[in-house]
Structure 1
Amino acid sequence: MTQSHGFIHQCEQEELHLSGAIQSHGVLMITDMAGKVTHVSANADSLLTDPQAHVALGYPLPAFLHDITAALPELSPGERYIGQCDTPHQEFDVVVTSHHGSGCVYELYPVDAHSAPMVAVSGAVSVPESADELAVQCQTLMDSLLALSGFDRVLYYRFMPEGDGEVLAEACREGVAGSYQGLRFPASDIPYIARQLYLKNPWRTIPDATAAPVPIYSANADATPDLSYVDLRSASPIHLEYMANMGVGGAISLPIIQAGELDALISCHSASPRQLTVSELEAMRGLSEGFNLRLRDFKARRRQQVIDGLQRHFDHAKAVLMRHGELESAWEELSEWLMETFGADGVMLQMDQEYYQHGIGLTPDAMNIVAQQAANEASNVWMSDCLQRDCAEMPLSEVAGVALISDLPLDQHHSVNLYLCRLEHIYDVTWGGNPDKPVDYRDGGSVVSPRRSFESWVEQRLGHSRPWTASARLYLFKLRALLRQAKSMPWSHDAE
């Protein structure tokens, strides 16, 4: 197992939502359906200094929360209610979430009555018309969040199809040295289990990476609470070490979610601990969500443009087949169209044991391996920019990447596989530090730990083709759908 894979395995074993502890800047209480406290954080008495605010396991919530509980609507799982309350000596922000339908989770954050007023949030912004305009809006968002948060650095970290991340935009306070813009980070930096939690929360805050976690007391000693929807949830020791290695003392992350998937993270860094109020976090979320919606509309518009363009391309391909009357004589012209449309260096049609080829291609054995891999993944449209990585027992070939459409209808008796092939494309990837994690041998173990340097580290990437774009994938799905609908297309087959 490689170091990178070992680190991912190690991170994925952490049950982050079952940490049994919270961060020290707030108080956690969990109630059952009857409103009695089943869990409370160990810092309740030290942060809730008013005697009237005492919390006891097995008893109802303290009276100062009455206005909150009276106004509390019925919450669906993950839904939040945000309010404020006070005692004679303290003010609190309160966040309430449903605890899996069996009660509620209360997060209380002491508020400094003399805190600075919130920075005004800018007004409406139109949906960008181009990728350049989208980039400008993204940079404007970074600048606005930097001013609103008072943090040292704000990054827009977009996830790539293979799971790695790349910093597309950055804003820094004056005097902050270095830049992460344009750097790539491996998928193991934010493992899948952590990404799933980002999908469930509007923000993730770690105000003080050096603070010790606070245990949660339970009325039932065996009942570890699920903290999936709780921002106070304690941070992973691995992540805290990662933050320390980056020189980050406090952090906020805001998810950018597209079609139910984590598309990007906005990450705010402060060299020293820094805590914001819930109102400030809400304001930041409003800015990021506004951009998120514009990004959604921009992507939808671009997808429609791709589909419209494909229809025109498909009409051209259909005209070629109609003009020639059968596939064999149309192949040269049709294959040129396919290579141009999909940016391929070669194209192949496999029909049973026969195939047509134009440009570079795969051997029959390699075609079968690719088709089997697609079948194993139950995908009629399968893409790879590194066949040696994605297909076991792949023979050496000048073809490094393939896009496959399988089971295209030829006639009522036959179907074909369409392979679009790309040559190896050697290029440099600039990482934020060596992506291979170091091995930590402390305490006699051999645990893979977060890397300690984030200086630019250049990898010459071999064995890969030019990557297939999301638009190419959409083209392939649409092309397959259109071909399946085209029952009257004059594709002929002379094998019978």
Structure 2
Amino acid sequence: MNESPLPNTDDCAREPIHIPGSVQPHGVLFVLETAKLTILQVSANSGILIGREATELPGTRFLQLIPDDAQGAVERLVRDAATTYVNPFRVPVAVGDELKFFDGIVHILETGETVVELERDPESPRDMESTEGLDNYLQIVHRSLAELSGVCHARDIAAVMAREVKGFTGFDRVMIYHFAPDYHGMVIAEAKEPEMEPYLDLHYPASDIPPQARELYLKNPVRLLQDVQAVPVPLVPALHPQTGAPLDMSRAVLRSMSPIHVQYLKNMGVAASLSISLVVDGKLWGLIACHHRTPRFVSYAVRATACLYAIVMSAQLKAKQASLENLRMSSARRMALDLITGLKDYSDPVGSLGGTLPAQRDLFKADGAAILSPQGLRSEGSAPDDLELISLRQQLEKHRNEGILISHEASSLFPSLAEGLPRAAGLVAIHLGEQAWLVLFRDEAIQRVKWAGDPNNAKSRDASGTLSPRSSFAAWQETVRGQSLPWPDSTTQLTTEVRSGILELVRKRNILLERSNQDLRRFAGIIAHEVKNQLQSGIMALSLLESRKEGMDSTVSQLAGLASTSLTNLAKFTNDMLEFSETEMNSNIEDIDFAKMAREVVEQLEASGRTEGAEIQILSLPRIRGPKSQMEHLLSNLVRNALTHARSESKQLRIEIGTRADENGDTVIYVRDDGRGIPPEKRDKIFEYFFSDRANKVKGTGIGLAFCAQVVQRLGHRIWVESEPQAGSTFYFSVSPAND
């Protein structure tokens, strides 16, 4: 027994269902040259339905089929139908000695030709009045709207629709089918004959209604298949006689159906179907799917009425959903506003978010929450452990340009989270600038999904290789793991507003801090200038006094030495303060040969004797873009910091200046030493103003590294340190590459 190969669902998705080249046999289709209404193409069943063979009609005028006394009215209707709402209209056709009446439906192709379709109920050859649907339209709409006055949920609205459409159209089964975001569908309401098997709550794979079919449902919202056993009728000629192209039947009501879809319905035991689109905000929200166990014709008037009804009900779906979302968002906004307002009095809004994590969980209906930043981690509720959070923060940095991530299947984005299930199955991550993230988590929600047949076997191939739909629609249950409940549609808007509020607080706080820093720099400059002027004479006097210490009392000599040392240190502090105060002075951005700058900095330090007992190696360095004088001070401070604080008495100090790319691909320059290292408890403080490591008995002003942080952060970059006690330290700072 030969096994057929597994189907490729792309084959189904590529099926050109808009150009089948054939029509259903209960009507005749004409393609007319618009100016003279000359027949270009006609369906091959014209001989059966209107008594004129298809091979005879191309080149003749369509109006020749109409009795003389009706030609003027029919021509006017044909020409007006494409731009007005006269469809359908009565079209009399002389068939031998008999006058038959058809429903006429007209549309204009994008290429300019006119398509006329003549429909007639194959079971009712009597004259047609075409008013059966429209007479009842206002009645069913009024009744439905009255029922929906106290209804808010889509399922309740769908239940009303299913019941009304079944009563209106007479089909055995009417289902309301709703598309999920991935376009698999679910039956959310059903009205059926009592003896029929229920399909309510069954899911259908997206491949059952492929993309091109969904597109056609937007172009032509009503589709009738009168008899699945009927043999499609080809066009004559098969291709357009002038262009040689197949006819685009996207808007044709007689368009024959895909053989795969027809077989699908046969496998379900369906003999006739009617589908009506439910469109919300321009997108296909779902379908009204009607099935009948015997062939069933529904006039265009009834279909048009059903279509109008669907439009009204789609508007109700939109309005009710919008009302629910507005209520949810109004409540959520109030909570978010309270949260953000509560942060405005903090000097560090991001850092203070840790205290709001319980409220953040309530706001987002989450099981856990965490703040991830270079300064530390803080979590609340059902969240990954610290090591997992550190790993997650590093992975999130690859998505920082996106700003917000929302997923109910977080392990698909971050596979490491799969090991921690059932925690963190769903995730909302909000980037707060720098390397800080607010993350909300949802636990795994094990779901049991009932499918109409095994979705893995939705399509198969027979021995000849022909693609066929599944033959079994028995309920098939799937257990879905590794996912949380989906986040509400409003989550994107809510996260955007929360993020904007927090970033605005950070921005305002930074403005205040920058103003304070400017004031501090100005104040430092003024004080430094005044102190420097006062120090010069004192240092000179003490130096002169020390030079004459012969014969001087030893106590006086010792006091003079101490005073000279203190004033010299104070002078150094004054110079650092002046340097700090001038960080804004020369901030012109330019391209910099950083390797050349590094050599000049090292040469200056060597000339001053500060590099004695140390080896400095300069590796390959890039050209960068930034303020030249500040970047030079930055590098000089980092190297001097290593020379001052990293030395140990047991070995020669090695300093390396180099570059690398970080995990985000940004250019990073580093200054590395193999000295005494920095204790963990002091690493977070070394970039603070006036911090000095007294324990190492090395004197410093505590301004140098604060200056480095100022320069880097003002340029929109980051600076950080990695260190181990007795194993050295590496200072990193990111830079902008020079223009090519």
Give the TM-score category using the shorter length: 0.7 to 0.9
Matched, 1:209 2:210: no
Deviations 1:132-155 (A, max 9, x none): 565444322211211111110000
Stretch deviating more after TM superposition (134-143 or 23-32): 134-143
Whether the aligned pair in 1 keeps the contact of 2:354 and 2:371 (CA below 8 Å) is no
More displaced 10-residue stretch of structure 1: 289-298 or 327-336: 327-336
Identity over aligned pairs, percent: 25
Distance 1:223 1:162, change over 3 A: closer
Corresponding residue to 2:452 among 432, 446, 458: 432
1 CA distance for matches of 2:111 and 2:400? Answer: 40
1:180 is matched with which residue? 199
Structure showing greater relative contact order (alpha-carbon pairs closer than 8 Å, 6 or more residues apart):
1
Summarize the Cα distance change of 1:20–1:477 in structure 2 as closer, same or farther, 3 Å threshold: farther
CA contact (8 A) 2:178 2:188 kept: yes
Deviations 1:214-273 (A, max 9, x none): 111232483201111112211111111111111111000010001111001000000111
3-state SS of 2:110 partner: coil
With over 3 angstroms needed to count, the CA separation of the structure-2 counterparts of 1:441 and 1:263, relative to structure 1, is closer
The match for 2:93 is 87
Q: 1:198 maps to which residue? A: 217
2:80 counterpart residue number: 73
Counterparts of 1:314-353 in structure 2 under 5 Å? Answer: 314-327=336-349, 330-351=352-373
Query: How many residues are treated as equivalent by the alignment?
Result: 482
Decide whether aligned partners of structure 1 residues 490 and 211 sit closer, same or farther in structure 2, where only a CA change above 3 A counts: same
User: Deviations for 1:436-480, whole angstroms, at most 9, x for unmatched residues?
Assistant: 1166453343x6532222122111111111111213333234434
Shift in Å at residue 336 of structure 1?
Answer: 1.4
- Give the deviation of 1:402 after TM superposition: 1.7
Q: Which moved more, 1:147-156 or 1:55-64?
A: 55-64
State how far apart, in whole Å, the 1-side matches of 2:458 and 2:161 are. 35
Structure 1 pair 464/136, CA: closer, same or farther in 2 (3 Å)?
A: closer
Distance 1:12 1:224 in 2: 19
Q: How do residues 474-489 of structure 1 correspond to structure 2 at under 5 angstroms?
A: 474-483=493-502
Partners of 1:262 and 1:342 lie apart in 2 by 28
| Superposed displacement of residue 489, structure 1 | 5.7
Secondary structure, aligned partner of 2:207 = helix
Q: Answer yes or no: is the 8 Å Cα contact 1:349–1:416 preserved in 2.
A: yes
Question: Would you say 1:270 and 2:292 are equivalent positions?
Answer: yes
Matched residue, 1:103: 113
Q: Judge conservation of contact 1:151–1:269 (CA < 8 Å) in 2.
A: yes
> How far has the Cα of 1:157 moved from its partner?
0.4
Distance 1:215 1:229, change over 3 A: same
TM-score, normalising length from structure 2? 0.59
Matched-pair contact (CA < 8 Å) for 2:42–2:235: yes
**Inter-partner Cα distance in structure 1 for 2:59 and 2:397:** 60
Q: Secondary structure at the match of 2:244?
A: coil
Q: Larger Rg: 1 or 2?
A: 2
Unaligned runs of 5+ in 1: none
| 1:420 equivalent among 437, 440, 459 | 440
Within 2, Cα distance between the matches of 1:374 and 1:484?
Answer: 14
Deviation at 1:205, TM superposition (A): 0.9
* Matched letter for residue 158 of structure 1: H
1:404/1:420 contact within 8 Å kept? yes
CA distance in 2, matches of 1:391, 1:58: 65
Q: Which moved more, 1:36-45 or 1:181-190?
A: 36-45
Cα distance, 1:127 vs. partner?
9.2
Among residues 444, 455, 471, which one is paired with 1:452 in the alignment?
471
- In structure 2, the residue matched to 1:57 is 58
Paired letter, 2:171 = F
Change (3 A) 1:353 1:79: farther
Aligned counterpart in structure 2 of residue 161 of structure 1, from 181, 187, 193: 181
Taking the aligned partners of 1:400 and 1:196, their CA distance within structure 2 comes to 33
Cα distance change on mapping 1:228 and 1:390 into 2, 3 Å: farther
2:172 maps to what in 1? Answer: 152
Listed as ranges, the matches of 1:213-362 within 5 Å are 213-218=232-237, 219-220=241-242, 222-327=244-349, 330-351=352-373, 356-359=378-381, 360-361=383-384
Helix, strand or coil at the partner of 2:252:
coil
Q: Hey, what's the Cα distance between the residues in 1 that align with 2:400 and 2:354?
A: 27
Structure 2 equivalent of residue 118 of structure 1: 132
Distance between the aligned counterparts of 2:396 and 2:464, measured in 1? 44
Maintained 8 Å contact 2:102/2:128: no
Alpha-carbon distance in structure 1 between the residues aligned to 2:446 and 2:153 = 30
In the other structure, the counterpart of 1:9 is: 10
Distance in 2 of aligned mates of 1:237 and 1:461: 32
2:406 matched to which residue of 1? 383
Distance in 2 (CA, whole Å) between partners of 1:267 and 1:307 is 33
- Give, in whole Å, the separation in 2 of the partners of 1:104 and 1:369: 58
* Contact persistence 1:213–1:234 (CA under 8 A): yes
* Cα distance in 2, alignment partners of residues 371 and 131 from structure 1: 44
* TM score, norm. by length of structure 1: 0.86
1:404 partner letter: A
**Are the counterparts in 2 of residues 128 and 134 from structure 1 also a CA contact under 8 Å?**
no
Deviation at 1:321, TM superposition (A): 0.7
1:48 and 2:50 correspond: yes
Name the amino acid aligned to 2:189.
Answer: A
Residues 176 and 188 in structure 2, CA contact (< 8 A), matched pair in contact too: yes
Deviations 1:267-290 (A, max 9, x none): 000011101111111222222222
CA distance in 1, matches of 2:413, 2:352: 33
In structure 2, distance between residues paired with 1:217 and 1:136 = 48
Structure with the higher helix share, 1 or 2: 2
Structure 1, 333-342 or 113-122: larger mean CA deviation: 113-122
Contact 1:322 1:489 in 2 (8 A): no
Once the two structures are TM-superposed, the CA of residue 390 in structure 1 deviates from its matched residue by 5.5
